[in-house]
Amino acid sequence: MARIRPARRGRAPVSRTVSTDAQGHTTGWATTGLGTGVVDRPDPTAAAFFDIDNTMMQGASIYWFARGLAARRYFTTGDLARFAWQQMRFRVLAREHAGDMSQAREAALAFVEGWRVDDIERLTEEIFDELMAPRIWAGSRALAAAHLTAGQRVWLVSAAPVEIGRVIARRLGLTGAIGTVAEIRDGAYTGRLAGELMHGPAKAEAVGQLASVEGLDLSRCTAYSDSANDIPMLSAVGHAAAVNPDSALRAEARTRGWEIHDFRTGRRAARIAIPSTVAAGLLIGAVTAGRAVHRRWRGR
């Protein structure tokens, strides 16, 4: 486990934590600290962890990323429609077979095989400004800002590729991101995962590892999510909150006395389900459209 922590006095600590194999290739989850500006009284043992999809942002970040790629003609609207259909289909399957992620893991990041990491990050920067920024929940951003003002660090924790989470965190002025890590060699993706999907219990494990490395007291930390799939992460901290919760998480939150924040107005979550998904749907669905992306990318 390698760690770099170039923190400055008066600033929220900045960190990068990765696991690597003997050849130095990335093999595990990662976080990238980005700095959050000067605070009067840093609170080094407390932090907040936010899920991204439907918690920090309306819909799924990787869906909006796919929309942005379609607009740039990396693939067709037909590919995008199949992508959305696969998301809905595997959302249901993931709920019915929550413990079986093998199919999702096998297919997860095949569509990025051969893509350069810097190209993905550049495109994510552009697509965030165009499609993601308008869909950030103002209420969730305010919650994150309150933690930052209190001198606490704030991380995003998502099944989305860590590169996407890192861009979103940087744009929002947060500390960093924990996400699904793709294997990288010579600056390009191999199309395979390094470690497990950042989903369900894996999020709780990653948060626990980060707390150990950064000296956090989990009993003083807070976690936010919209999905019952994140109950392990929510249970791992001292303070949990359901944000725009699905029905299962809402029921669990009421039973446990967790805070509930619902920033949706008008149409409810069921009516925005197409861009909303859990890790299995996101990653399996990406294969259908992503292979077309890959073909078009190679042809450029």
Q: Are the CB atoms for 201 and 188 separated by under 8 Å?
A: no
Active-site residue (options: 51, 79, 226, 230): 51
Instruction: Please give the Cα distance from 146 to 74 (Å, whole number).
Output: 39
DSSP 257: T
Measured between alpha carbons, how far is 197 from 1 in angstroms, rounded to an integer? 18
Q: Which of 21, 53, 79, 100 is catalytic?
A: 53
129 is a catalytic site residue: no
The one-character DSSP state at 73 is: T
Longest alpha-carbon distance in the chain:
54
CA pair distance 34, 162, nearest whole angstrom: 13
Residues 6+ apart with CB under 8 A from 39: 10, 11, 12, 148, 149, 151
Enter the tokens of residue 21.
Answer: 């194999």
The token pair at 26 is: 């990335």
Asked whether the CA dihedral 128, 273, 53, 224 is positive or negative, the reply is: positive
Owner of token pair 């392990």: 232
246 as an active site residue: the answer is: no
At 150, phi and psi to the nearest 5? Answer: -80, 0
The set of catalytic residues is: 51, 53
